[in-house]
Structure 1
Amino acid sequence: MQSGIEVSQETLNGQQPLTPNRTYKSTIFIMIFEDRKNLLELYNAISGKHYEDPELLQINTLENAIFMTMKNDVSFVIDARLSLYEHQSTYSPNLPLRFLLYIASEYSCMTADENLYGTRTVRIPPPKFVIFYNGEQEQPERKILKLSDMYQKSGSSEDGEDVEPVSLELRALMLNINKGHNETLKEACKTLKDYAEYTDRVRKYSKEMALEEAVERAITECIREGILKEFLLKNRAEAKFMSIFEYDQEKHMRMEREQAYEEGWDAGQKAGEEAGKEELLSFLIQRKLAKGKKLPEIAEALEMDEETIRGLMEKKELNKKTI
C-alpha cells in the first residue's frame, strides 16, 4: 500500500531532494501502521483481543481519487467490525464530522452492489473511531468527542439540555499517546510506544538544533536503541523526509493559529477602543441634550461635524426632539 510519497532511486541515493506527493495526507503513523503486522498489534492493544494472523485484516484506507479530500489515516475490517484510526498532532473538535464523512464513504463502497431500496436488511459492520493524539496542547488520557457537540442548539430546556433527542450521534475516542500518557496501552503495543518515543525525540531535539539535524539524531538514536529499528532501517530516507515535512507542517499550523489569535486580539482591541469612543461620545451628547443644547451647538462644542453627531444620535436613539 502506498504511503503517499513518491521517492525515486536518485532520491534514496542522496542525489536530489525528496519531494512530497501532496495528493493526500501521509505521515509516519500511516507508513508504520499500513503494515498489517503492526496494525494487528495496535488493534489487539485497543480491543483486548489476541489475533495472530495479520491476513485477517481487510485494510480499506480511502485512497480513491473521489475520496482524496476525505482520506483517513487507517481503516480496516476484522471480526466483522470496522475500525477507523486517525492520528492527530493538532487537536481538532471537528474530528467527529470528519469521521462521519469517512464512514459514509466506507459504507457507500461496501454497499455499492447492494439493493438499498429492497426489503432485505443490508448488513454493515459496526464502526469504532479512535484518535491517537500526540500534540503539544495539553489533553487528558482519554476523551470522547461527539458529533452532537458540533450541532447548533435550536432549542434547550432551562438546565441547558436539548429538548429534542439527537437523531444522529457519533462518538470518537481520543487517546493521548504522549510520554507519560496511556502507558499501559503502549506497553501492549510496542510499535505504538516506539512511535511515540521517536516523535517525542524529534520534537525535543528540534528545540535544540536545526530540524534536519534533530530528525537525523532521533533516527540514529532510535535505530541504535532498537526503537522502530526495522522500520527506520528500511525507510530511513523517506522517514527522515516525512518527519521534517510533518514537523514543518505542524509548526506552520501553530504559527498560523498564533498569528490569527494576535490579529484577532488586535482587531478586538481596536474594535473595543472604537466602541469605547462611541460610548463616550454618546454620553457627552446625551448630557448636552439634557441641558437643552441643539445639534449645531453640540457639534461645535465637541468639535465634530453635525452629520456625525446626527448619525450617532439616530443609532443610539438619543433624544431626537432637540435636533
Structure 2
Amino acid sequence: MGQTKNNGAAENFSANRNYKSTVFAMLFGDRERLLRLYNAISGKNYQDPEALEINTLENAIYMGMKNDLSFLIDDKLSLYEHQSTVNPNMPLRFLFYISDLYSCMTTEENFYGRKALSIPIPCFVIFYNGAEPQPDRKILRLSDLYTVRMKETQLELTAVLLNINRNHNRELMEACRDLKDYAEYVDRVRKYARELPLSEAVERAITECIRKGILKEFLEKNRAEVKKMSIYEYDQEKHIRMERQDAWEEGAEQQLIKIIKNMTKKGRNVSQIAEELGEDETRIRELAKKSTE
C-alpha cells in the first residue's frame, strides 16, 4: 500500500499515557497485550509488538467523547471501544474518529492531484461488558440511525459489538487470556458490590485476583489507579442505569396518566380505575389531577 504521511500529526498520535478513561483502555494500552487481543480478534499470529503502531486520538474530543484505542498494523486501522452501557450511536462516533484519523494521516497529501491516495482499511470493534443482557456478537450500522431508511445507502459504517462479560464469547476468551482475566475481575467487582461498600468490593476483587493469578502483574503494578478507576466506572455505570430507569418510569407515568384520562372520559371514578389497574387510589387520584393540568 502507498504510504500516507503523518509526520505533521505526530503530536496528535500517542498511546495516551497521561489519561486512561477505563481499566480496559489502561490494560490494553500496553502494546503486548493489545497485540494479543488483536491476534485473538483477527485470527492472526503476530509476535512483534513493535509492528503495532498505536495512534489513539488524544486531543480529539467530540461532545465529550473520546477514542479508547486505535492502532495500525498490516495496513489495517483498528478502532476499539469499551462500553459498559448499550449505545446505538457508536457507528456515528466511529465515523467522527475515523474521519479525524484519516485527516491526520493525510495532512501533507495532495487531495487535488491525479494520484489516488492510499488509506488503511478500518475495523471497528466494541467490547461490551454492561449489566444489560446482550448477545455474544451484534452488528451496529450507521444506516440504522438515518431518518430515512433505504435499501442502499451511499455511506455505511458497520461496527461489531462483542459481549465480553464472563461466560460469553468463550472461544475469544480462551484465545486472549488478558481479556478473560479482565472479565473475571469485572465480574468479581460486581458480585462483591452487591454485598459490600463499593470501595471494599473493589479492594476485595483486586486482592482476590492477585492471589489467584488473575491480571496479577497488572494489578500489582497499578493497584491504586485501578481501584480509583473501577470505583468511578461502577458509579458511572450505576448512574446511567438509574437515569435510564428514571426516564422509563417517567414515560410509564405519562402513559398511565393517558390511560386514566381516557377511563375518566368513559365515566369511571377513581375507585373503579384503581381497581381495574391494580393501583393505589391515592396514586390514581394524584395522577388524575395531573391529567387535568
| Class of the TM-score when normalised by the shorter of the 2 chains | 0.7 to 0.9
Work out whether residues 179 and 197 of structure 1, in 8 Å CA contact, stay in contact via their aligned partners in 2. Answer: yes
Matched, 1:91 2:78: no
1:59 counterpart letter in structure 2:
I
Q: 1:68 to 1:259 in 2, by over 3 A?
A: closer
Pick aligned residue for 1:108 from 97, 103, 118: 103
Identity %: 63
Work out whether residues 127 and 163 of structure 2, in 8 Å CA contact, stay in contact via their aligned partners in 1. Answer: yes
Match runs of 1:116-155 below 5 Å: 116-153=111-148
Matched, 1:80 2:80: no
Work out whether residues 84 and 130 of structure 1, in 8 Å CA contact, stay in contact via their aligned partners in 2. Answer: yes
Work out whether residues 185 and 205 of structure 2, in 8 Å CA contact, stay in contact via their aligned partners in 1. Answer: yes
Higher RCO (Cα < 8 Å, 6 or more apart): 2
State the 1:198 CA deviation.
0.3
Match runs of 1:131-280 below 5 Å: 131-153=126-148, 162=150, 165-277=152-264, 280=266
Match runs of 1:15-30 below 5 Å: 26-30=21-25
Give the TM-score normalised by structure 2: 0.82
Unmatched segments (≥5 aa) in structure 1: 6-24, 155-161, 282-323
Which range moves more in the overlay, 181-190 or 68-77? 68-77
Unmatched segments (≥5 aa) in structure 2: 1-14, 268-293
Distance in 1 between the 2:185 and 2:61 partners?
33
Distance in 2 between the 1:153 and 1:232 partners?
48
Q: 1:65 to 1:191 in 2, by over 3 A?
A: same
Distance in 1 between the 2:141 and 2:55 partners?
24
Which range moves more in the overlay, 208-217 or 144-153? 144-153
Select the structure of larger CA radius of gyration: 1
Matched residue, 1:312: none
Give the TM-score normalised by structure 1: 0.75
2:206 counterpart SS class: helix
Distance in 1 between the 2:263 and 2:94 partners?
44
Distance in 1 between the 2:261 and 2:208 partners?
56
Which range moves more in the overlay, 228-237 or 61-70? 61-70
Q: 1:140 to 1:239 in 2, by over 3 A?
A: same
Give CA deviations for 1:122-141 in whole Å, capped at 9, x if unaligned. 11000001111111111111
Distance in 1 between the 2:48 and 2:63 partners?
30
Provide the aligned length of Structure 1 versus Structure 2.
Answer: 253
